[in-house]
Every structure is written in structure tokens, then in C-alpha cells.
Amino acid sequence: MPFMREYSAEAALCEKLGGGKVRCLACAHRCVTAPGGAGRCKVRFNDGGRLMAPRGYVSGLAPDPIEKKPFFHVLPGARTMSFGMFGCNFSCEFCQNWSISDAAAAETAGALRVTAESLAAGAAASGAKVLVSTYNEPLITAEWAGEVFDGAKKKGLRTAFVSNGYATPEAAAFLKPRLDFWKADLKSFDDGKYRKVCGAELSKVLDGIRTIKDSGFWLEIVTLLIPGFNDSDAEIGAMAGFVAGLSPDIPWHLTAFHPDHLMTDVPPTPAGTLLRARDIAAAKGLRYVYCGNIPGVNGQDTVCPSCGLTLVEREGFSVRKDLLGGKGTCGCGFKVPGVWA
């Protein structure tokens, strides 16, 4: 792994064990490796008894509206700067970023060498309000994200993770001083599906999402609804019940699947599935449920749960109207949870 050896530094999120072994603490896999071994993500590896983690490059860097992440209760219409690296701790058969989620791609794909300071300075100069670690799984490169975010904070920027939610208490504590917003995936409510299709465990996902919420990050949850995989009424209801049990105020984004990677034989998600799921979620008590990834589908606006007034009107990733005005309060006096200013 010549690329990984060049672009790496000793990891903070780990503990040393006997015989040169180390346990990684960045994600809930908690991989234990011997010298010469690598974790399931393949980008965190044991070099002579030291755990090494990615540092000093990006696989992609692009300006995005914050609604694309998606965050709907954070600074509507704000510009973000998004960056990614290589590798993932999951192996989702429906991955839409598979070209960079495979760590082996690092050896052949292009990468841009950057410093944390230049990345933060460039984001600030671009007019971005939020710097986002995304595209691949940010937990496995948490130390680098932390370094970048420290620089972003000095520039007055907010920071965000777009993550599969496989968080540990150790990673959450490491990130808490430097990370503001966390988008987490809930891909299914069936452990067998999580293990077979994603290479992860449902219980650890649920624990990770609870950890994110309990640690005080602003949390929004995304579920990609895939026909025949997780779109039954029973499973949608179970996911909605879990989210509502954490808080009825957590925004839940229901997004449409498009055939990709190893699931090209599965049809796209119909708009009706998103709307049906939205109704089920509302019946479970969730106040802010959004539909996305299908142009023109209803369910993208933020509506006051008290008086029914449309407070933020969206079309795709564009904000057409924002009545919250940075205050987060409807004209009727209802306070909408989020980060509005």
C-alpha cells in the first residue's frame, strides 16, 4: 500500500495491546491488528505496533449547497465546501460512491495533496459557511478531519460529518470540540440485511446514532429506501419508531434509490414509496420528515408543526423561501429545532 504509507500519520483513536497489536477505536468494528495488518477499512493499518491513519490529501473537493448533504435544519441555503478521502468501513452493495469507497482505488485514482490549514483557508475564501467531511466514510479518517476542522474553527466556519453512523464513544468525544453537525445513515432495521448487504451490525449502528445524539451534535438521519430491501411498512415503521424514540424533532430524510454498483438489477424507488413512508413516520410522531432524490416530489419543505405554515420552501437543493430568517421561530411563536444562524 505505497499510497497509504505516504499519506498517513500515527492515529490517536486507538489503544495499544500486547505483542505489537493495536485496537482501533475510530468505528464500531474496533478492529484489532498485528504488525503488518490492516483494519476492515483497509486505510488504518498497523506499522510496527503503531496504528496509522490517513492524512494530508483529499480524493475530492467541491462546493455544495448544505441541502445536498442533506441538512435541512442547518443554515438554509448555506454554501459548504465538501471533501473526501478513500476507503470505507462498510461494503454496501448499493454504494453510490463505490469508486472511492474501495481503499484500493487510492493506488490508481487521483488525489490532491493538501494541508489542513490550506483546506480550511480555501473553504473560508470560497464563501463557504460549513466545511464537510463526506464522499467516503469520515469516521475512518477522523484524525485528519479533526485537524482540518480545527483550522476551520479558526476561520469561523462550522463543520459537519456525512457518515454511516458507526460511531464509538471514543470517536464522538474526540470530535466533540471540533464537529458541529452529523448526518447519519439508518440503512435498514434488520440485522441480517445489515450484515449481508453492508458488512455491519444493526445494534452497533443504533448505538452509534444514540451516541451521536447523546453527545450533543446536531443530528439528521437519512434512509435510502430500496425496493424489496427496506421499504415494507413494517420496516419503515420500525425505523421511524426508533428515530421518534430518540426525539420527534430529529429530521428524517427518506431518499430514493437509483440502481448502482452491485444493485443494478433493482428498480428505482417510486415517489409513492417515499410519500407512504412519510405518512408512516408522521404516524409514529416524527415532526420533520423529508423526501428526496426524485425531482418534483412533495415533502421537501419545512412546515411548522403548530400552525401548518410553510417556513422553508425548497426545490431540489435550492431554497425558494425562508421565513425563519435565522431566528428559527415561526410567526405563531413555535420554535423549530435546528441551527438557523
In SS3 terms, 140-166 reads as: HHHHHHHHHHHHHHHCCCEEEEEECCC
- By three-state DSSP, how is residue 239 classified? helix
Q: What is the pLDDT of residue 108?
A: 66
- By three-state DSSP, how is residue 23 classified? strand
Kindly report, residue by residue over 63-89, the tens digit of the pLDDT.
Answer: 999 999 999 999 999 999 999 999 999
Whether 128 and 157 have beta carbons less than 8 Å apart is answered as yes
Give me the mean pLDDT over the 244-252 stretch. Answer: 98
CA nearest neighbour of 9 among 51, 48, 40:
51
Q: What single letter denotes the amino acid at residue 304? A: C
Confidence of residue 262 (pLDDT cuts 50, 70, 90): confident
The mean predicted confidence, pLDDT, of the chain is 95
Q: Say if residue 45's pLDDT is above 80.
A: yes
How far apart CA 302 and CA 295 sit, in angstroms, is: 17
Cell of 270: 417510486
How far apart CA 24 and CA 302 sit, in angstroms, is: 40
Cβ atoms within 10 Å, residue 285: 13
- By three-state DSSP, how is residue 339 classified? strand
Query: Running DSSP on this structure, what letter comes out for residue 251?
Result: -
- Tell me if the bond preceding 259 is cis, omega within 30° of 0: no
Confidence of residue 6 (pLDDT cuts 50, 70, 90): confident
Q: What is the pLDDT of residue 263?
A: 87
Q: What is the pLDDT of residue 325?
A: 86
Kindly report, residue by residue over 79-135, the tens digit of the pLDDT.
Answer: 999 999 999 999 999 998 888 887 777 666 778 899 999 999 999 999 999 999 999
Q: Say if residue 164's pLDDT is above 90.
A: yes
Q: How much of the chain, in percent, has pLDDT values that exceed 90? A: 89
Query: Running DSSP on this structure, what letter comes out for residue 198?
Result: I
Cell of 174: 474526540
Give me the mean pLDDT over the 310-315 stretch. Answer: 96
Q: What is the pLDDT of residue 98?
A: 85
Specify the higher pLDDT residue, 83 or 6.
83
Q: Which DSSP helix (H) or strand (E) runs through 252?
A: strand 252-256
CA angle 295, 97, 100 (to 5 degrees): 155
Q: What is the pLDDT of residue 298?
A: 87
- Which of 119-123, 210-214, 297-301 is predicted with the least confidence, judged by mean pLDDT? 297-301
Q: What is the pLDDT of residue 1?
A: 64
Q: Say if residue 143's pLDDT is above 80.
A: yes
- What ranges in the chain are assigned the alpha helix state H? 2-6, 98-101, 116-125, 142-154, 169-175, 191-193, 202-214, 233-246, 271-283
How far apart CA 271 and CA 244 sit, in angstroms, is: 23
Give me the mean pLDDT over the 27-35 stretch. Answer: 98
Domains of the chain: 2-54 (no CATH), 57-322 (3.20.20.70)
Confidence of residue 222 (pLDDT cuts 50, 70, 90): very high
Give me the mean pLDDT over the 26-51 stretch. Answer: 97
Confidence of residue 175 (pLDDT cuts 50, 70, 90): very high
Cβ atoms within 10 Å, residue 171: 29
The β-bridge relationship of strands 60-65 and 79-84 is antiparallel
Cell of 196: 449481508
How far apart CA 6 and CA 314 sit, in angstroms, is: 43
Q: How much of the chain, in percent, has pLDDT values that exceed 70? A: 99
How far apart CA 99 and CA 56 sit, in angstroms, is: 20
Cell of 6: 505516504
How far apart CA 204 and CA 191 sit, in angstroms, is: 10
Q: What is the pLDDT of residue 76?
A: 97
Confidence of residue 44 (pLDDT cuts 50, 70, 90): very high
